[in-house]
Chains A and B, each alone.
Chain A
Amino acid sequence: MERTLSYVEAIREATDQEMERDPAVVVFGLDVDDPKAIQGTTRGLVEKYGPERVFGTPLSEDAMTGVAVGMALAGLRPIHVHIRMDFLMLAMNQLVNVAAKSRYMYGGQVQVPIVVRSMIGKSWGQGAQHSQGLYSFFMHVPGLKVVAPATPYDAKGCLVHAIRDNDPVMYVEHRLLHFQKGPVPERLYSVPPGRARVTAAGKDATLVGISYMQVECLRAQRYLEDAGIAAEVIDPIWLSPLDTETIVESVRKTGHLCVVDNGWSTCGAGAEIVARVAEHFQGSRAIKVKRLGFAPVTCPPTPALEDLYYPNARTIASAVFDLVNGKGQSWQPEERRELQEIEFKGPF
Chain B
Amino acid sequence: MTERFYRSLYRIRRVEETIAEVYPTDKIKSPVHLSIGQEAVAVGVCEALRPKDVVFITYRSHAAYLAKGGDLRKMIAELYGKATGCAKGKGGSMHLIDAAHGVMGASAVVGTTIANAVGYAYAVKLRRRDQVVVSFFGDGGTDEGVFHESMNFAALKGLPIIFVCENNFYAIHTHQNRRQKLANICGRARAYGMPAERIEGNDVFRIHERVRDAVGALGAGASGPFFFECLTYRLKEHVGPNEDYHLGYRRREEAEPWIAGDPVRRLAAMLDGARRARIEDEVEAEIRDAFAFAEASPFPEAAELFTDVTET
Residues on A facing B (Cβ under 8 Å): 26, 52-53, 57-58, 60, 62-76, 78, 93-94, 97-98, 102-111, 142-143, 145, 165-167
Contact = CB atoms under 8 A, between A and B. Distances in A.
Contacts of B116: 66-67, 69-70, 73, 98
Given A66-B116, A93-B109, A104 B153 contact: no
A66 B118 contact: yes
Interface in B114-162: 114-127, 145-146, 149-150, 152-153, 156
23 contacts: A52-B125, A58-B149, A63-B150, A69-B116, A71-B119, A74-B119, A74-B123, A74-B124, A74-B127, A75-B123, A94-B112, A94-B115, A102-B105, A103-B308, A103-B310, A106-B87, A106-B97, A106-B99, A108-B307, A110-B97, A110-B104, A111-B311, A143-B310
Interface in B257-312: 307-311
B310 A107 contact: no
A64 B149 contact: yes
B85 interface: yes
Contact of A107 (B87, B112, B126, B156): B87
Of listed B56, B89, B308, B310, residue having the most chain A CB within 10 A:
B310
B308 to A, nearest CB: 4
B88 interface: yes
Contacts of B153: 57-58, 60, 63-64, 67
Interface residues of B, number: 44
Contacts of A93: 109, 112, 146
A142 B305 CA distance: 12
A167 B311 contact: yes
A279 B151 CA distance: 49
A71 B99 contact: no
Given A69-B119, A93-B109, A110-B97, A63 B149 contact: yes
B91 interface: yes
A64 B119 CA distance: 8
Of listed A26, A65, A71, residue having the most chain B CB within 10 A:
A71
Contacts of B90: 104-107
Interface string B78-121: 00000001111111000101110000110101001111111111
Contacts of A69: 115-116, 119
Of listed B85, B107, B113, B124, residue having the most chain A CB within 10 A:
B107
A76 B123 contact: yes
B118 A103 contact: no
A142 B112 contact: no
A62 B119 CA distance: 12
B118 A142 contact: no
A71 B120 contact: yes
Contacts of A166: 310-311
A66 B95 contact: no
B119 to A, nearest CB: 2
A67 to B, nearest CB: 4
Contacts of A66: 112-116, 118-119, 146, 150
Contacts of B117: 70
Contacts of B127: 74-75
A31 B90 CA distance: 38
A58 B309 CA distance: 32
A109 B96 CA distance: 11
Nearest to B304: A107
B58 to A, nearest CB: 13
Contacts of B156: 58
A260 B153 CA distance: 41
A111 B312 CA distance: 12
A22 to B, nearest CB: 13
Contacts of B85: 107
A65 B126 contact: no
A63 B311 contact: no
A91 to B, nearest CB: 10
A103 to B, nearest CB: 5
Nearest to A193: B310
B87 A105 contact: yes
Given A67-B150, A70-B120, A107-B308, 15 more contacts: A53-B126, A58-B156, A60-B153, A62-B145, A63-B115, A63-B146, A66-B146, A67-B122, A72-B119, A74-B127, A97-B112, A108-B307, A109-B86, A110-B105, A143-B310
Contacts of A68: 119
B105 A106 contact: yes
A104 B307 CA distance: 7
B119 A98 contact: no
Contacts of B109: 93, 97
A74 B120 contact: yes
A72 B118 CA distance: 11
Of listed A53, A57, A72, A93, residue having the most chain B CB within 10 A:
A93
